[in-house]
């Protein structure tokens, strides 16, 4: 029997909590032996909720004081490179949340350091482990809808992102922090890289939310052309208020495929015929992708146990970052941008 | 070109209005030339709404004063026999609403008088003309789901029926006035007659609605066995409040078929993720069966024009009455009742 | 009682048939008294199917030989201006299919000639009469989902358009012949004009269909910004094969609204659990918009009877043409195009 | 931190495998330390799949040779009483699959022996832990749809049950082995006990499956009246072929609630407009109730850890057995049967 993989969870915020819950409650082969977060109150709350004994305010301290096999990094994007470097240099296997990094140089450095130290790297593209997305990808790959001609992928999230994640000076904004998954999904399901993108953005709720960050947007549509000749669309709305919406549609030469639904639970009620039938909507990403989070962490743990390369690689993470950079450049310069301008 | 069929609409109430609307607005080959109803205010309102010039308080007067080809009878059940006799004896073609009559003797008299006078008779089983029911029947007949083993048919209606229609002394209650369609549907789709029925009833809302009629019920479940060996269920709830619910499910040896939906319109909205997605429900029977009413009246008019026997015959109407009588006897005597007890 | 409106149907092809069926079968206040089409076999077939006695190979002849009140023009786009001029100059009311014309000059001439002759003009934007679209528009207008931020409208049609309709030299291609409805819908539902558009196109099935027309495309995505600041998307796929897909989604500041469905009929069957549940899809536009066609023609006929201006005006038609021209210019020049470049 | 609960899995068949998977893969607080099954090949396969080291052909041997805290009993119904007695007498906590037993005497003996030995007893009514059923129950309890008037609960399963489970001489047939869940569900959601039941059965596929067991049936409809005055329906079809169908509908004085869906996965495809949209159906009970199985076993394990009484009690199990006995008596004697005839 394989031994359990000891994990140091780096980041105790929303994503850190989500991953801690998945591992603690539903992935017996993983064991969280340490929790790292500079913010004490957040750290305490997460540690208490999931019974994690060892807490540290830095990864350095955790590395000194406790033994573990792998890190799960869920901290803000600007920290991804230094935390990965530190982990890799200590021989720890790395699970790294999306977006991989702020730019392609950082992506390259991340890939270089994990290669050099011979550790594994998995990017947190959990949709690649969602049973519906996986089934869809297999069926497209199997030719069921023919050559993909057009894809539409959306991520609309209910709440306003934190300040650092909506400011182009500290992150790459919504296209990166919310829509990273879409950049990965469209490439995956189309089986082709994007070649050219054009982006329109809008800012509807910023003023009411007292957001005065330059270039803030809460609505985005990215139109794209793939190397295959296919067309793509990414749409983002955040905060959208109405729920968490991650549906995808693919049109192939032979037919249409729709992935996902807005319906969050099959309990449908009508108590007023003037109001209508009411169905719970998907409210949050932990709800929508509950199995996907369990399966991506199972996968990472199994890869560590069996020393095999994980799916959702650094290359996938790097392409998503390239898309984000092209998409952002497009709306700033009000013109279509070629990926070759970015991938220099 | 065939000449338009001149119709005398007998009954200006809810069903009379519905049929007047269907003919006036969407069936050019029919022309309502007279409206009969003893209640002046109801008659005036319907006549005004559909531009019907000639109004009478009795069918006798209409027969004296205006020429027409056919009657559409939508009056209460106890009047069905005398009105049909009068019409048939004057050579008028007869469209007669369900339930056909109060008992099998009346059904037999109705069939005898139309036969004797050589006029057509169509019973108002509009579900036999609904595009979804028609398609379902054809696919079952074509063997798609194999030999039907089990059927469940429901009619749940939003409002309390009028006093005469919920009193076993003046009608056969909900099983007749609301569920007549189900009795016809299960026989049609199963391709077999019912052999034995068992009925449970409940009275939940009577007291709050000041209904003190003996044996009143507002919920009913009828369990039945068909001559084919198949099983059936009819469910009735009236008033159910939540909408108009006329869904059917058939299980065959090879599979399942579901007919109809609660969704009344494809406009789905969510403005509050704690509340959920809201879809309009089917609110009323004129909404649910809008096309069915148009098509059954088109069919009747074409049968008159071409002198061919309509679908939804007197025999179908009689079987539905027999089911109602067996179902009622069952709950009154608290035992399963065989159709052969009724069909003596 | 209002007298029936006598109609000369100009064009006996697919749309002419569809409208003839709607009027003949379901709009008693309209009467088709003449059918015009230069192609004899097509004309004969349509005339026979709907019992139209008078047939002509030109509108001129029809004007000479038969009396009528209005024309319904369903011929190819390049004929719209001359046929409208001829009709208006003879005092005939004009129902004109979309797209209104090939360019804005023609639109202006059409509006001028109907104004000058005091006749009515309705453009065939039947979605403005579809019960679901109408309800959606009213609910958006009523503020239910707040200020609209983003709209996505699609028309994917099953078959390859005829040669003239897919060639930019004789029409404005798919964006005009298929997606005209979307241009009108997005403007209507957003309550704002588009300001800037960017278009990507793809040609997947042209070669297999032996289409070698320059600039042919069978997939299109148009990204747009509205004057209101909102964002929009139009998607077109033709031939898509899988059905007729005309769904719309609107995201407002307060929520989401989805209009339409792929499900064509509520008869759901499963006979093989390895295959799954099978639901009929919307197959064709006459099926999807059956009520919309009836209602738009009823509306036109009532406007003629009451001498009131129809909804779906020349101005609406002109804006759709402007969008098409901007969208086409965008993909030809590979850049975003402002409407002000077109509306000079 | 609570210590892990050591479990002896008794029964290595389909249900034993399902529960072993749930515990091993997704319930870290449980540990399967022994597997008991008299059939060696079945036992070996299950043990290998879930890495269970200790295997025994009897519970007696397991009790002698390995230490554990609890048993999970998934063997055929006739073994439930002796296995529970043996476990309880050795102080083991008991998770017992449905149906609880063959008759009420056995149920009483089971409840007596666990009481006497102070061990816990949980019956395998996993629907009480399914997120949708739980939410539905809470909302009904909260009054959302008013007083429940009518419930319809179905379990239609894809395959033919094993010989012992379809023979009234060795089990109570489909009503017990397949529909036990429905008996529990209707009582739970109606908040009332059934008072009277009437059953119709049919045998459609027996001959083709070479089943010549007396009184075999593969279709069943049970009509029932509750103490509250409400009405109920249980329907069973097995083998139904088309999938696993466990939907429930409740009509309350204020409205309707539907629980569950036939749709097994949100990946909808259409590649042929003449065929239609295809959606995966729920294929099996492990798929439909994946979370319910995890949660019921988590619940049992937490009850063991905290020494609290589990939900899904012996009393619930006993009522389901009483329903089965009344329902069976009804179709054998062709009459409605009162529960008071059974509960003597």
* pLDDT tens per residue across span D182-210: 999 999 999 999 999 999 999 999 999 99
Q: Which residues of chain A fall below pLDDT 50? A: none
Structure tokens of D289? 């109730």
What is the DSSP-derived secondary structure letter of residue C16? H
CB C30 within 8 A of CB C94: no
Chain C partners (3+ C-beta pairs within 8 A): A, B, D
Strand order in the sheet with A121-123: A55-56, A30-36, A5-10, A70-73, A93-96, A121-123
Residues of A in contact with D269 (CB under 8 A): 139, 144-145, 255-258
Residues of B in contact with D231 (CB under 8 A): 200-202, 219-221
C-alpha distances (whole Å) from B124 to each of B16, B32, B92 are 12, 17, 17
Task: Report CB contact under 8 Å: A152, C235.
Answer: yes
Sequence-distant (6+) residues with CB within 8 A of A142 are none
Contact D263 C274 (CB under 8 A): no
> Distance, in angstroms, between B139 CA and closest chain C CA?
10
Given this model, what pLDDT does residue C3 score?
Answer: 87
Q: List beta partners, residue A155.
A: A236
**D243: which residues sit within 8 A by CB, 6+ positions away?**
B256, C270, C273, D156, D158, D262, D264, D281, D282, D283
Q: Do A254 and C241 touch (CB under 8 A)?
A: yes
User: Percentage of chain B with pLDDT > 70?
Assistant: 100
List chains adjacent to chain A, taking adjacency as at least 3 C-beta pairs closer than 8 Å.
Answer: B, C, D
Q: Judge whether B275 is closer than 8 Å to chain A, CB to CB.
A: yes
- Residue pair A88/A113 in contact by the 8 Å Cβ criterion: yes
**Closest chain A residue to D137 measured between Cα atoms?**
A267
Low-confidence ranges of chain D (pLDDT < 50): none
Q: Answer for the pair C324, C311: CB distance below 8 angstroms, yes or no.
A: no
Beta-carbon contacts of D42 under 8 Å, excluding residues fewer than 6 positions away, are D12, D13
Please name which of B153, B135, B151 lies closest in space to residue B190, comparing C-alpha atoms: B151
Cα D167 to Cα C168: distance, rounded to the nearest angstrom: 73
Cα distance from N-terminal residue to C-terminal residue, chain D: 47
Q: In degrees to the nearest 10, what's the CA dihedral of C187, C188, C191, C197?
A: -10
Element (H, E) at B332: helix B314-333
Q: Say if B157 is an interface residue toward chain A (CB within 8 Å).
A: no
The CA angle C234-C235-C240, to the nearest 5 degrees, is 155
Q: Does A151 touch chain C (CB under 8 A)?
A: no
Is the CB of C28 inside 8 Å of chain B's CB atoms? yes
H helices within chain D, ranges in order? 14-26, 40-50, 59-65, 80-89, 104-117, 131-141, 173-177, 180-190, 285-288, 290-306, 314-333, 339-342
Which structure tokens are listed for D221? 């409809």
Alpha carbon of D110 to those of A110, D82, D107, D119, D344: distances in Å?
62, 9, 5, 11, 18
- With CA atoms as reference, the chain D residue closest to A291 would be D291
B235: chain D residues, CB-CB within 8 Å? 150, 152, 233
Token couple for B92 = 């008028």
> Whole-number mean pLDDT of chain B?
97
Contact assessment for residue B14 and residue B39, using Cβ atoms and an 8 Å cutoff: no
Nearest to D137 by CA among D332, D316, D287: D316
Candidate from C147, C231, C336 with C-beta closest to A221:
C231
Measure the CA dihedral C54/C60/C64/C66, to 10°. Answer: 30
- Which residues from A are below 8 Å from B240, CB to CB? none
Using an 8 Å Cβ cutoff, are A199 and A222 in contact?
yes
Q: Is the dihedral of CA B20, B24, B26, B30 positive or negative?
A: positive
Residue B261 has pLDDT above 70, yes or no: yes
Residue B234, phi then psi, degrees to nearest 5: -115, 130
Q: Are D339 and D321 in contact (CB under 8 A)?
A: no
Residue-level pLDDT at D70: 98
| Whether B153 contacts B186, CB under 8 Å | yes
Closest residue in A to C242 (Cα–Cα): A255
Q: Which of A156, A177, A137, A143 is nearest to A259 (CA)?
A: A137
User: Any CB–CB contact under 8 A between B28 and chain C?
Assistant: yes
Closest CB from B257, B261, B270 relative to C269: B257
For residue A234, list chain C residues with Cβ-Cβ distance below 8 A: none
C50 to chain B, closest Cα gap in Å: 10
C-alpha triplet D266, D267, D270: angle, nearest 5°: 130
User: What is the rounded CA–CA span in Å between residue D178 and residue C169?
Assistant: 67
Q: Which chain B residues have a beta carbon less than 8 Å from that of A275?
A: 278
Parts of chain C with a pLDDT under 70: 1
* Cross-chain residue pair C223–A221, CB shorter than 8 Å: yes
- D274, burial (CB in 10 Å: exposed 0-12, middle 13-18, buried 19+): exposed
Contact B231 D152 (CB under 8 A): no
Q: Tell me which residue in D147, D149, D254 faces B237 most closely, judged by beta carbons.
A: D149
A36: closest CA among A80, A69, A74?
A74
Beta strands of C142-213 (E only): which ranges? Answer: 148-156, 194-202
User: Quick check: A162 contacting C, CB < 8 Å?
Assistant: no
List of residues 6+ apart from B340 with CB closer than 8 A: B195
Q: What is the CA angle B212-B218-B219, rounded to 5? A: 145
Query: Contact at 8 Å (CB) between C282 and C157?
Result: no
SS3 A200: strand
Which chain B residue shows the shortest CA-CA distance from D205? B253
Q: Which secondary structure element, helix H or strand E, spans residue C89, and what is its range?
A: helix C80-89
pLDDT digit string, tens, across residues C117-150: 999 999 999 999 999 999 999 999 999 999 999 9
Q: Are D86 and D59 in contact (CB under 8 A)?
A: yes
Q: Which of C28, C26, C44, C48 is nearest to C36 (CA)?
A: C44
Q: Are A189 and A130 in contact, with CB atoms under 8 Å apart? A: no
Contact D231 B204 (CB under 8 A): no
Mutation to test the C interface, candidates B139, B269, B283, most C Cβ within 10 Å: B269
Tokens of D21: 């998977």
For residue C64, give the DSSP letter. H
Pull the structure tokens for residue D283. Answer: 């294929």
Kindly report whether the peptide bond that precedes residue D191 is cis, defined as omega within 30 degrees of 0: no
For Cα atoms A191, A192, A196, give the angle at the middle one, nearest 5 degrees: 150
3-class secondary-structure state, position D148? strand
Residue pair D32/D20 in contact by the 8 Å Cβ criterion:
yes
What distances in angstroms separate CA D296 from CA C81, D22, D134, D302, one per listed residue? 72, 10, 12, 10
Q: What is the rounded distance in angstroms from the CA atom of residue B290 to the CA atom of residue B288?
A: 6
Rounded distance between C-alpha atoms, residue A117 and residue A111, angstroms: 10
Distance CA C267, CA B48 (A): 38
| Peptide bond before residue C38 is cis, with ω within 30 degrees of 0 | no
pLDDT (0 to 100) of residue A1 = 52
Residue contact B235–D152, C-beta within 8 A: yes
Tokens 């949340």 locate to: A97
A158 interfaces chain B, CB cutoff of 8 Å = yes
- Hey, is the C-beta of C142 within 8 angstroms of any chain B C-beta? no
Under 8 Å CB pairs connecting chains A and D tally to 86
Q: How far apart are CA A124 and CA A316, in angstroms?
A: 10
Chains that touch D (3 or more CB pairs under 8 A): A, B, C
Share of chain A above pLDDT 70, in %: 100
Band (pLDDT 50/70/90 cuts) for residue B24 is very high
Task: Tell me the two tokens of residue C26.
Answer: 């379901």
- The two structure tokens encoding residue D298: 């988590």
């Amino acid at each position: 029997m394989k031994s359990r993989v000891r994990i140091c969870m780096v980041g105790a915020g929303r994503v850190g909590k989500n991953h801690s819950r998945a591992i603690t409650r539903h992935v017996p082969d993983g064991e969280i032996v340490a929790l790292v977060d500079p913010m004490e109150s957040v750290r305490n709350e997460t540690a208490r909720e999931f019974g994690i004994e060892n807490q540290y305010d830095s990864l350095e301290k955790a590395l000194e004081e406790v033994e573990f096999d792998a890190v799960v990094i869920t901290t803000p994007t600007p920290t991804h490179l230094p935390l990965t470097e530190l982990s890799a240099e200590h021989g720890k296997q790395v699970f790294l949340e999306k977006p991989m990094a702020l730019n392609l140089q950082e992506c390259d450095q991340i890939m270089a350091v994990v290669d050099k130290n011979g550790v594994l790297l998995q990017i947190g593209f959990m949709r690649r482990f969602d049973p519906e997305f996986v089934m869809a990808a297999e069926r497209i790959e199997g030719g069921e809808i023919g050559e993909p001609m057009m894809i539409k992928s959306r991520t609309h999230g209910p709440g306003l992102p934190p300040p650092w994640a909506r400011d182009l000076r500290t992150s790459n904004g919504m296209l990166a922090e919310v829509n990273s998954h879409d950049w990965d999904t469209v490439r995956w399901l189309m089986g082709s890289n994007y070649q050219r993108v054009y982006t329109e953005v809008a800012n509807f709720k910023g003023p009411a939310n007292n957001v005065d960050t330059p270039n803030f947007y809460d609505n985005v549509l990215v139109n794209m052309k793939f190397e295959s000749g296919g067309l793509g669309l990414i749409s983002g709305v955040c905060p959208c208020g109405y729920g968490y919406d991650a549906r995808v549609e693919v049109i192939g030469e032979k037919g249409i495929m729709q992935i996902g639904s807005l319906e969050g639970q099959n309990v449908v009620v009508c108590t007023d015929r003037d109001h209508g039938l009411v169905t719970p909507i998907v409210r949050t990403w932990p709800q929508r992708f509950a199995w996907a989070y369990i399966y991506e962490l199972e996968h990472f743990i199994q890869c560590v146990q069996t020393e095999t390369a994980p799916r959702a690689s650094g290359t996938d993470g790097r392409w998503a970052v390239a898309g984000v950079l092209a998409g952002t450049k497009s709306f700033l310069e009000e013109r279509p941008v070629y990926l070759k301008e970015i991938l220099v």
